[in-house]
Amino acid sequence: MECKQFLQTIVKKLLAKSPILYSLVRNLPAFDPREMTVEKMTQKTTQLKSIIRSLIEANRVSSNDADDIIQQYSEFIQQGSMSEASQFSGFYPASCRADKFFYDRLANNPS
């Protein structure tokens, strides 16, 4: 019986410290290129709003910038899904870093 209680206590402590409990971490799939499609834009925009809310609370983003961020994100999804859909759906995290993937797409984007 003591073993069972010990295991339960350990699992509870691990879950309590798990990053998945944090809203910011749970909503990061908004930046997964494989999921950034027009069909999933509503869901991904909701996740982005939650991320922005967390960043505003941490004083990392101004609340005045929130609408601009969401608009630019939506435009990026629409443009990417039309012109580079195969690259977005074919993104493989083990072979390409997400920051490089986004840099390659945004570096030559004038807007």
Q: Domain limits of the chain?
A: 21-106
Q: Which two tokens stand for residue 58?
A: 């941490």
Tens of pLDDT, residue by residue over 17-72, are 776 667 888 899 999 988 888 888 899 999 999 999 988 988 889 989 999 999 99
More confident call, 70 vs 89 = 70
pLDDT at 24: 84
Rounded to whole angstroms, the Cα distance separating 77 from 40 reads 10
Please give the model's pTM, rounded to 2 decimal places.
0.75
Q: Give residue 110's pLDDT band: very low, low, confident or very high (50, 70, 90).
A: low
pLDDT at position 65, please?
92
